[in-house]
Amino acid sequence: MKSRTRSLQVFDTELSADTVEWCPVASNHNVLACGTYQLHKEVGEEDAAPSRTGRLYLFEFCQEEPLRPPLTELQRTDTAAILDLKWCHIPMAEKPVLGMAAATGELQMFTLSDSQEGGRSLQALCSCQVGAERLTLSLDWSTGRMDSSSDVRVTCSDSAGCISVFSLAEGSLMALSQWKAHDFEAWITAFSYWDTQLVYSGGDDCKLKGWDLRAGSSRPVFISKSHSMGVCSIHSNPHREHILATGSYDERVLLWDSRNMKQPLRETPVGGGVWRLKWHPDNQYLLLAACMHNDFHILHCQEALEGDGGSCPVLSSYILHNSLAYGADWSRLSLKGSAPQSPPTTDSKESLAESGGHLRIQYESPTASFDTSLEDDAGRYIPEETAAPSPSPAAGPAPYPDKDAPSLSCLLASCSFYDHMLHVWRWDWTPDETQQESDHC
């Protein structure tokens, strides 16, 4: 397999970044939202409750202008600290809707609208208090298979160990149910996209649970203790029925068949604690993992799902972040043109001049196979097609596919916490001949 990861742009979010989400709604695939979380403690007041603030960013990615960085900031909004962001997979009243889990215990909704200046911006739609004196930690929509339905629901988890389910209709949230699901923080909740009456949850009590909304919340349909530490990521495969991925502080990704939750299909050690998992929007076998202390990885799960044995191999890793790897997401945007050539590499870290507000191109190259975009001495952006290739013996054979070979080019975003950085990057991959027949994107 030929695989290459290339950083396109780095943005300083100023506050600690923990969640990024590309818009899944058609004609808005180039829109990216990023949320931040900042904890403040008053000096000399150790007993005082800390305050939490955040900022919601909105960006647009554009490949049409090669002489400027591709990511443009459209909007920034100071908010409560943000724990999670998720776009509804289908438009509501013909507009994309973004859900936000806030440290104030609220679930907030925003619509993406055309602004008077001709651009796009987020407008507050509605909000609902999940509970007092708690943090809303995660959320998920019931629309993961892109089904157009009037029955749009959202589930969220909180620091009191509760799971809540709401419906969203006519621009307002209506509470459907809430129950105590875990003894400690309920880090994550998610719908089964194939049976949206089934909700999964994971908590700091090391338990993974399933809940059938039709049967009430008095008893889960299953409890798994396969993870040895807190369960903090869950994602239902939108392309393949019954398949579920979970991750934990125990540094393992588990794949499940929901028809038999007594034991996982496969487990893959990835290191670092698995904070977020995202299945590829088109390919049923590709899984993106944000691994906290161990960077971001793209796993190939074909052999594991087809029962051929073994764990999920890592196809590629993105290692340019310098802090906790928290947020990560795939874009549905089609990348134009062939994979870019590499600019010259260097052994040192070089933070180049800022370009336009807080847009910052930062060059880091821990290995010969990773690089970022560059600016010249005057701070001007150097487009991909003018960057000179790097002849590096360590890089091995040319990592790019022949023009006629089946290949995949993906746009991704990731963010890291304490260094408050958002990265936009590209992954180019050509599977080997045995995989080309079964992998489709």
DSSP 8-state secondary structure symbol assigned to residue 92: B
Contact 272, 291 (CB under 8 A): yes
Contact 299, 305 (CB under 8 A): no
What is the rounded distance in angstroms from the CA atom of residue 198 to the CA atom of residue 210?
7
pLDDT in tens, 115-124: 777 789 999 9
Mean pLDDT, the chain, whole residue set: 84
pLDDT value at 169 more than 60: yes
HEC string of 139-193 equals EEECCCCCCCCCCCEEEEEECCCEEEEEEEECCEEEEEEEEECCCCCCCEEEECC
What is the rounded distance in angstroms from the CA atom of residue 419 to the CA atom of residue 70?
22
DSSP reduced 3-state for 9: strand
pLDDT in tens, 409-438: 999 999 999 999 999 999 999 986 545 555
**pLDDT for res 49:** 73
Distances (CA, A) of 192 to 220, 243, 278, 298, 363: 14, 9, 14, 22, 40
pLDDT in tens, 290-348: 999 999 999 999 999 998 778 899 999 999 999 999 999 999 998 876 555 443 333 33
Distances (CA, A) of 223 to 211, 226, 357: 10, 9, 49
pLDDT value at 406 more than 80: no
Distances (CA, A) of 142 to 75, 187, 193, 214, 330: 27, 18, 6, 15, 19
Per domain, the residue ranges of the chain are 2-40+51-340+401-436
What is the rounded distance in angstroms from the CA atom of residue 109 to the CA atom of residue 122?
10
Q: Considering only CA atoms, give the Rg of the chain.
A: 21
Categorize the per-residue pLDDT at 112 as very low, low, confident or very high, splitting at 50, 70 and 90.
Answer: very high
- Encoded tokens for 414: 């990731």
Query: Percent of the chain scored above 90 by pLDDT?
Result: 71
Mean local confidence (pLDDT), 234-259: 98
What is the rounded distance in angstroms from the CA atom of residue 69 to the CA atom of residue 394?
29
The topology (CATH level 3) of 2-40+51-340+401-436 is Methylamine Dehydrogenase; Chain H (2.130.10)
What is the rounded distance in angstroms from the CA atom of residue 429 to the CA atom of residue 316?
9
CA 67 to chain centre: 28
